[in-house]
A and B are shown apart, each in its own frame.
Chain A
Amino acid sequence: MNETRRGFLKALGLTTVGTGLGIPLLRALRPGSGTVLAQVSGPAETAPAAVPGRQWAMVVDVEKCLRDDVRAAVIEACDREHNIPRIPDPKQEVKWVWSDEYGDIFADQINAHTPAAAREAPVLVMCNHCTDPPCIRVCPTGATWKREKDGIVMMDMHRCIGCRYCMAACPFGSRSFNWRDPRPYVEHDENGKPLSDFPTRMKGVVEKCTFCAERIDEGGEPACVEALRQVPGAEGALVFGDVNDPESEVSRILSEHLVMERRPTLGTGPNVYYLVPDALPALAAAPSAGVDGNHPVSERGEVAP
């Protein structure tokens, strides 16, 4: 080797220039790619127009859901259907659908004159199955994603690694982490089996409402909506349907009423709507939402410690 320092630096400079010029040049020369600029903006122009599929949505009638038995029926049905553990420590709770205070849920839509009783009134909350969900963007494993065919924000427990990025990204607190093995806290029948065949989860995964995707795939409706059919006077407390179908009940309600959604300014496009306008007098008269609104203790069986 009789490479001089000067010669080496020259070669280095040429290599840098060559690489810098060469790669864009090669790209531009690739068949069908046109100019470098067209290459950059190409995919957006050629992408096919999005096919409007289904987008499942839920309308929560806040006034009808002020009744304790209505909310209890919803939460109970969900707990049973999905073997949701009832963990006493609120820091470790697992919740798919639950009650929270109106003033907290709609913190950006109340004002200084909103009656205190209305602020404390219970409202049912669940995953919003957003049109543009921030949770799925941050998931490093693709364990949560938005189903193209019907807009459900889905969970794949086989892939979740428990990093909890999705929980940080979700502005609605809709996701729960399994801090411990949930099995001992799942309600069991007299034979020691969980109430439902739905897989329980394991320590270290995140879970949330899936709009009962497994029931929908078989042509059914969410367990909470189905359970309310058995509750007298609860008709329409929860209405489930396709917002992209102009004929659906959900679409009808949205076209005939002013509805609220949670934190609309964030732009995530929640698909859970709240029918509120006429509810204020009822809200103000309602009992406050406490933790007692969640996970009602069932009469069927003991919850393991």
Chain B
Amino acid sequence: MTSRSRIALGLGVFFLLGAYPVWNGLASSADPERPELARAVDSAGATGCIEDTTWMKANHQKLLNEWRTSVVRDGQRTWVSSTGTSWDMSLTGTCLKCHANTETFCTRCHDYADVQPTCWNCHVVPEGGQSEGGQSHE
């Protein structure tokens, strides 16, 4: 065996191993199981979400950041949706009134997407939600 063929063999093995995620993904035809999210419970006064579901899926994190800045930094608590409805900018007071179960609504999808927001370290989950306390920081 010449050194040329040895190098070629080594490179071949290297690329094959390096491409593991690609051929493994191609080989397993089954779609990864999408998380089943809890439907919102109806809350007094609320007629549907503040924005439509597609928009919320894509933008809720940005929206919550804006709400946070507005409430904490500017002391401004009222938000007007694209349909002209006014809402109180409050995670616990507005979002969780309908999406009461954070375990089956927030956490399930965040686990799937592998993101770890720290909301529940401080924010209180009202009645019916997940048991409190996010990750321990001890």
Residues in B neighbouring A213, C-beta threshold 8 A? 75
Residues in A neighbouring B133, C-beta threshold 8 A? 181, 183
- A173 vs chain B, min Cβ distance (A): 24
Of B77, B93, B127, B137, which contacts A217 at CB under 8 A? B77
Q: Is the CB of B93 within 8 A of A181?
A: no
Assembled-state Cα–Cα distance A181/B93 (Å) = 23
Residues in A neighbouring B72, C-beta threshold 8 A? 154, 156, 158
Q: Is the CB of B136 within 8 A of A181?
A: yes
**Chain A interface, >50% SS class:** loop
Of A154, A156, A193, A199, which contacts B126 at CB under 8 A? A193
B59 within 8 A of A: no
**Chain B interface, >50% SS class:** loop
- A124 vs chain B, min Cβ distance (A): 25
Interface-lining segment among B37-45, B107-115, B117-125: B117-125
Residues in A neighbouring B92, C-beta threshold 8 A? 197, 199
Assembled-state Cα–Cα distance A199/B92 (Å) = 9
Interface size, B (range)? 20 to 34
Q: Is the CB of A199 within 8 A of B77?
A: no
Assembled-state Cα–Cα distance A158/B118 (Å) = 10
Q: Is the CB of A193 within 8 A of B138?
A: no
Interface-lining segment among A20-28, A107-115, A200-208, A237-245: A200-208
Residues in B neighbouring A204, C-beta threshold 8 A? 137
What 1/0 flags go to A243-270 for Cβ under 8 Å of B? 0000000000000000000000000000
A218 within 8 A of B: yes
Q: Is the CB of A83 within 8 A of B68?
A: no
* Contact (A194, B137) CB under 8 Å given A156-B72, A158-B72: no
Assembled-state Cα–Cα distance A82/B131 (Å) = 20
Assembled-state Cα–Cα distance A200/B137 (Å) = 14
A180 within 8 A of B: yes
Q: Is the CB of B73 within 8 A of A156?
A: yes
The contact sample of 26 A-B pairs, CB cut-off 8 A, is A83-B124, A147-B75, A149-B75, A156-B72, A156-B73, A157-B122, A158-B68, A181-B136, A181-B138, A183-B132, A192-B131, A193-B127, A194-B124, A194-B132, A197-B126, A198-B124, A199-B92, A199-B124, A200-B124, A201-B122, A202-B122, A202-B137, A204-B137, A213-B75, A217-B77, A218-B77
Could you list which residues of chain A lie within 8 angstroms of chain B, going by C-beta atoms? 83, 147, 149, 154, 156-158, 180-181, 183, 191-194, 196-204, 213, 217-218
Given A181-B138, A202-B118, output 5 extra A-B contacts at Cβ < 8 Å.
Answer: A147-B75, A198-B124, A199-B122, A203-B138, A218-B77
